[in-house]
Amino acid sequence: MHLRPRRNRKSAAVRSLVRETRLSASDFVYPLFIHEKEVDEEIESMPGCKRWSLDGLVAEARSAHELGVPAVVLFPAIADELKTPGAEEAWNPDGLVQRAVRRLKEAIPSLCVITDVALDPYNSDGHDGLVARDGEGTIHVLNDETVECLCRQALSHAEAGADIVSPSDMMDGRVAMIRHELDCEDFLEVSILSYSAKYASAYYGPFRGALESAPKDGDKKTYQMDPGNAREAIREVGLDEAEGADMVMVKPAGPYLDIIARVREATVLPVAAYQVSGEYLMIESAGAAGWVDTKAVALESLTGIKRAGADIILTYYAKRAAQWLKD
């Protein structure tokens, strides 16, 4: 035999020379949960993750940034008494997210701060949009009325100093309207990272436990995508690109590597992928039981997401993976 592919695997040095996909801390965005309490709190549904106080948030973000993680994205756990059918707390200039953004930008100016734009943490109905009920009590998530609220929310985040706003609601037309609102208010440099292909996935359960934001009634299948659809993802990405998105996202990541690859081929925009709470918890649970090597499986899963075509990876492993790669 003169064709021996194993020659390219014969040593660590040779494998390094021919490696096609390289994982780096600079690939990661670190999702961080925040709350109003003055102490940090372990999240029962997501072992290893916390709801951070504002002081704890700054310390954790700084620690990750020093390891090379360039960005964080914020998710607020809002007190029940602040949740309303109209989700008005979402654009309170002194709200939890707005204060957190200001603290982070003051303390760590070089950190990229991303905010989640959706109503579910603030909506007493637990949906990403405003809810109406018909005469039989069936809920309907209102698209256009929700988009008006999302614009107010995104603008309040920009005013607080967010570098990137990230609409995760999956309402039609919201990217164009948010871009218009930001531009009209002279926030021309604030980017939009759109959750373009966000699926109605069973992998989100631990996240909803972390924020206590599960829908009170119904589900999210009328606005999040059907897991059986692939071509629809390309349509959604194309619309968001045309409406002014600066980056697009696929969520979840691991079960949708084929979608990441298709989206990568369909757009020249940067492609993000979100390794969601269910993916994280499966690795953590198997590792805690001794069935897998947590570090090895986590890094392999992240490499697979990048190999599929993701330029940006949102992962709860961001800080730990950055340390593992450094070591």
Q: Is the model's pLDDT at 181 over the cut of 90?
A: yes
The 10s digit of each residue's pLDDT in 269-297 is 999 999 999 999 999 999 999 999 999 99
φ, ψ dihedrals at 85, nearest 5°? -60, -30
φ, ψ dihedrals at 69, nearest 5°? -75, 120
- Residues 177 and 151: beta-carbon distance below 8 Å: yes
- pTM score of the predicted model: 0.96
Question: What rounded mean pLDDT belongs to the chain?
Answer: 95
- Residues 109 and 122: beta-carbon distance below 8 Å: no
Question: Residue 150: its pLDDT value, please?
Answer: 98
* Residue whose C-alpha is closest to residue 166's, from 205, 113, 224, 209: 113
Question: Residue 213: its pLDDT value, please?
Answer: 64
> Looking at residues 196-208, what average pLDDT do you find?
92
- Tell me how far apart the alpha carbons of residues 237 and 248 are, in angstroms, rounded to a whole number: 7
The 10s digit of each residue's pLDDT in 56-68 is 999 999 999 999 9
Share of the chain above pLDDT 90, in %: 90
Beta strand 139-141 with 164-167 is unpaired
Sign of the four-CA dihedral 259, 261, 267, 269: positive
* Structural domains of the chain in order of their starting residue, each with its CATH number: 24-326 (3.20.20.70)
- Tell me how far apart the alpha carbons of residues 69 and 61 are, in angstroms, rounded to a whole number: 9
Question: Residue 139: its pLDDT value, please?
Answer: 82
Catalytic-labelled residue, pool 83, 251, 306, 319:
251
Tokens 């949740």 locate to: 83
**Catalytic residue check, 319:** no
| Listed range (31-35, 45-49, 315-319) with the worst mean pLDDT | 45-49
Catalytic-labelled residue, pool 198, 220, 306, 319:
198
The 10s digit of each residue's pLDDT in 120-170 is 999 988 899 999 887 776 788 999 999 999 999 999 999 999 999 999 999
- Confirm or deny that 236 is annotated as ligand binding: yes
Q: Label residue 151 exposed, middle or buried (CB < 10 Å: 0-12, 13-18, 19+).
A: buried
Question: Residue 208: its pLDDT value, please?
Answer: 74
- Residues 47 and 87: beta-carbon distance below 8 Å: no
**Catalytic residue check, 198:** yes
